[in-house]
Structures are given as C-alpha cells and as structure tokens.
Amino acid sequence: MSEFEPKIVAFVCNWCTYAGADLAGTSRIKYAQNVRIVRFPCTGRIDFMLLLKAFEEGADGIIVSGCHPADCHYTSGNYHARRRWMVFKDLLDFIGIDSRRIVFSWVSAAEGAKWAHLVNDTVSEIRNLGPMKEYKNLENVSSNKIGELIND
Amino acid sequence: MTELQNIAKKLFDDGSINLLIGYSNNENGGTSAIFIDNSADIDKLIYNENCHQNLMVYFQKPEVKKFGKLAFVVSLPGLKSVLEIASENQIKDGDAYFIAIDKDGNPSLLQDFHQIEDFITNNQTKPPMGLLKLMEKINNMTREERWQYWTDEFSKCIKCYACRSVCPLCYCTQCITDINIPQWISTESSPIGNLDWHIARAMHLAGRCIGCGECMKACPVDIPLALLTANLNKSIAIHFGDEPGMKADYKYPLSHYKLEDKENFIR
C-alpha cells in the first residue's frame, strides 16, 4: 500500500503569504506538492465556515496564513483574524475536532523559505496524524441512519 | 391588582406605551408571552418562577416594532440582552420601558441604560451549577470522547431552528443557514449539516451570548446548546477579558482588537 498523501488546503492572504509562496517558486525552492493554495484579499476575509467546508470536501489539513502583525495591507485585518482564530480554535477543541490539523502562520512576502518549511512541516505532521477520518465517518453515519429509517 | 399590573396600568394611562409584552397563564397550565395593547387586558399579566422566556426576542420583530412605544417585562437575562443589543446599536436609550423583576420577584420600572446597568450589577446570579459541571466534565474528556459526545448530541438535531427563533440575539433578517448561494450549511438534518449549523450558531454568538439558556430550554431534543456559547464566552473572558451584557457601550470582541493580544499557536 502506498504511503498516505495528505491533502492540504492553504488559505492565504494576497499581499504577504501568496507573494511569499510566489517567492518560494521563483527562488526554485522545492516543497511538498500536497498543498492547494486559495488566495484571499486578507486573513480578515477568511471565514471559519471556509475551514469547515475544506474538511467537508476532504482536506486532511489546513494552513491559514497571512501578513505578520503590523504588516496588514488593510492595517488591521490580521488582528481581527488573530482574535477570530483564538476563539475558533477553543471551540474546535471543545467540540473535539483535532485543531492540530489547522496550522496558523504569519508568512511575509519576503519569507519564501519560511513558506516552504511551513508546508513541509505541516505535511509531515498531518502524515503522522493520518487521514481526517472524523468527517468521512460522519457521512457514513448519515447514510446508515437513512438506511435504517427506510428499513424500519 | 399586583404591583406589576399597577406599573403596567400607569404606563397605559399615561399614554407612555402602546404595547406591553409580559407573561400570562396559558391553557396548558404553564406560562406564555402575552401582548397587551390596551389596559383592559392588564389583569392577565402575571410573573412567577415559570416565566423564564426571554421576551426581548420580540423586540426586533417588525410586527412588534410597528406599535411604536413598547414595554417589556424582563428579569436579569432579559435586561442583559437589552444592553447587548444596545451595544449593537439595535436599541436606543429610551426606546422602550422595562419592568424589571429583581431576584426577590419585585417589579420596578427602568428606562435608561444606566439604571439597567446598576440593576444587573445588584442582581447578579451564579450560572446554574449543572451547566458548569457538564462543561467541566466535557473539558476533562479526551478529544475523541468530546467528538463522540457532540456527534451523539448533534445527531439528535432535527433542524427545527427553535434555538435560533428563541434567541434575542439571533436577529439577522437573513440567517447564514437560509442563504443558498453559496449554500454554507446543508439544509438537511444530516450529521455534517447539524455540525455546521451548531458551530456557525455558536461562533456567531461568541462574545455576544448573554447566557439566558433559552436555546437549551427550547430545544425539543435536549441538546445542551448553551454549553457551546458558554464555553466560547469563557475563552473570550480569558483571552480578552470581555463579558457581554454588562454595559451598553460594550465592544464586541471579534470586531475589535488589541495590538498586544496574545496567542501561542500562530507560527
């Protein structure tokens, strides 16, 4: 059996991390191919529902990254995002969704190498955690229940 | 006539209000909300320990707003919701009268937000022990146990949205769950749809929920919904030191920030 290849979705801001990832590319830095990048205007735009949708669509891990504090293109988007993630992470922990599968980071436009490290680290961490089974099992619960209802 | 009815009658006689929302006995032996638009019905107005519904839920309804001058019978949670919706610019000082019931069951007439703030400070009650114990129990579980606990609880959900209807702070004219382009939350009562709905509901009430617990009492399948918002409020108090429903000039913690906010997980 081939080794488990995690699917990672990265939600990144246009002004810092997306440019940082671009720099990693133009600098010819090699990093894991497991990441799918989704570009946003700002980390302040990244709604928590998007993260839940990513898990629903089969992501095993998520990276959320944007400008360092004091660097936001819109002055304060990342500060708002920081508060949102502090609260959202606590909710995930309380509900029992593995918050280690969501990696938050600040990657600036100059940090192509940091981006490559971040992706590589995340991929190896998620590889150790294994596939995100919880959401897939939910789907089974759903169909089983409906099946039971029909049989009754 | 009780003191409560006297206060209500005086408001109608002065012409201060057109509609009073309070509690009355219903035919099932319980209590329900009553909408009184003339002083003839005032003798139906009651207050006892069964009157727990948070009547501020009606404040935002257009059917109620069209009456103009309003009065509400409210206890501590109701008054907290008044301050919370005031901080969200949904109610202005003097928009409505509040017949506040204190912890001994005595009514008094409050109008401006300062009076309400003082009333809340003087009438603080402890949150129910059962809820705190259950929260502690869940927090002491392993992650897998917590996930199992909540999937079991959410699997009971029939998506009736009673938790939303009964909440004085769920007043969006279009709720995220009713939006279908894009469809954020699956409309069927499937495990994923239920999970999404309860996470979204909790997050949208994070730092706003005043803890009246009506969502939990209204839930027909007894999901301990108030735990989610109570736990979120606990983490907001720890991270940012904010508590909703205490002041009319409260700043919603998720739309404000401090440069020195500290977390330990962003790399």
Task: State the nearest Cα–Cα gap between B165 and chain A, in angstroms.
Answer: 22
pLDDT classification of A142: cutoffs 50, 70, 90: low
Q: Bin A96: left if φ > 0, else alpha if -120 < ψ < 50, else beta.
A: left
Spatial distance between the Cα atoms of B190 and B204, rounded to a whole number of angstroms: 21
Task: State pLDDT tens for residues A102-126.
Answer: 999 999 999 999 999 999 999 999 9
Report yes or no: B62 and B8 within 8 Å, Cβ to Cβ.
Answer: no
Q: Is the pLDDT of residue A34 over 80?
A: yes
Say how many domains are in chain A: 1
State the nearest Cα–Cα gap between B210 and chain A, in angstroms.
Answer: 17
The answer as to whether A16 is a domain residue is yes
**CB nearest to B200's CB, from A49, A90, A135:** A49
Instruction: Tell me what pLDDT residue A144 has.
Output: 46
User: Cβ of B109 under 8 Å from any chain A Cβ?
Assistant: no
Which residue in chain B is spatially nearest to A84 when comparing CA positions? B254
Percent pLDDT > 70 in chain A is 90
**Full domain range(s) for residue A36:** 8-151
Cβ partners under 8 Å of residue B234, min gap 6:
B135
CA angle B123, B129, B134 (to 5 degrees): 140
**ipTM for the whole complex:** 0.88
> What Å distances lie between residue A141 and A136, B70, B72, B106, B189, CA to CA?
9, 48, 45, 51, 12
**B13–A contact, CB cutoff 8 A:** no
Determine contact: A82 vs chain B, CB below 8 A.
Answer: yes
Distances in Å between the Cα of A46 and the Cα atoms of A108, B102, B103, B181 are 17, 43, 43, 17
Residue A140 at interface with chain B, using a CB cutoff of 8 Å? no
- Per-residue model confidence (pLDDT) at position A148: 53
**Sheet order of strands, A35-40 included:** A35-40, A8-13, A61-66, A102-106
Token pair of B61 as six digits: 């309804």
Instruction: Enumerate the residues of chain A whose CB falls inside 8 A of the CB of residue B206.
Output: 87, 91
Give me the mean pLDDT over the A37-42 stretch: 95
Q: Which residues of chain B neighbour A70 with C-beta distances below 8 Å?
A: 259
Point out the residue among B185, B191, B259 whose CB comes nearest to the CB of A141. Answer: B191
A28 vs B: CB within 8 A = no
pLDDT at A140 over 80: no
pLDDT of residue B39: 82
Residue B212's identity, in one-letter code, is C
Q: Quick check: B235 and A90 CB within 8 A? A: yes
| CA-based nearest distance A26→chain B, Å | 23
Contacts of B241 (CB under 8 A, 6+ apart): none
Instruction: Kindly determine whether residue A82 and residue B147, on different chains, have CB atoms separated by under 8 Å.
Output: no
- The predicted-structure confidence for B47-81, as pLDDT tens digits, reads as follows 988 888 999 999 989 999 899 899 999 999 999 99
DSSP H helices in chain B: 3-14, 62-65, 76-87, 113-122, 129-140, 143-155, 162-165, 191-205, 214-218, 226-240
CA distance B166 to chain A (A): 22
Q: Which residues of B touch A106 (CB under 8 A)?
A: 266-267
Indicate whether A1 belongs to any domain.
no
**Which of chain A's residues have a Cβ under 8 Å away from the Cβ of B236?**
87
Phi/psi of residue B124, each to 5°? -55, 135
Mutation target among A42, A65, A80, A83 for the B interface, most CBs of B within 10 A:
A83
Among B49, B60, B88, B37, residue whose Cα is nearest residue B249:
B88
Say whether residue B140 is in contact with chain A using an 8 A CB cutoff. Answer: no
Helix, strand, coil share of chain A (percent; to 5): 55, 15, 30
Judge: A82–B257 Cβ closer than 8 Å, yes or no: yes
Contacts of B125 (CB under 8 A, 6+ apart): B76, B103
Contacts of B195 in chain A (CB under 8 A): 52, 95, 138
Query: A93: how many CB neighbours lie within 10 A of its CB?
Result: 17
Residue B245 to residue B257: CA distance in whole angstroms: 19
Q: Which residues of chain A make contact with B146, given a CB cutoff of 8 A?
A: 93-96
pLDDT at residue A146 greater than cutoff 60: no
Q: Which two tokens stand for residue B196?
A: 């999404």
A100 C-beta neighbours (distance < 10 Å), count: 16
Q: Can you give the pLDDT at residue A30?
A: 94
User: Using an 8 Å Cβ cutoff, are B260 and A83 in contact?
Assistant: no
Q: Does A113 fall in a domain?
A: yes
pLDDT < 70 stretches in chain B: none
Residue A3 located in a structural domain: no
| Tokens, residue A141 | 């619960």
Nearest partner of B41 among B61, B56, B21, judged by Cα: B21
**Residue A117 at interface with chain B, using a CB cutoff of 8 Å:** no
Looking at residue A139, its pLDDT comes to 72
Which of B114, B40, B31 is closest to B79 using CA atoms? B114
Task: Write the CATH number for A68.
Answer: 3.40.50
Q: Are B49 and B33 in contact (CB under 8 A)?
A: no
Q: Please answer whether residues B95 and B70 qualify as being in contact, where contact means their C-beta atoms are separated by less than 8 angstroms.
A: yes
Handedness of CA B5, B8, B13, B14 (dihedral sign): positive
| CA distance readout (Å), B35 to A39, B39, B77 | 51, 11, 20
Which residues of chain B are within 8 Å of residue A139 when distances are taken between CB atoms?
191-192
- DSSP class of residue A3? P
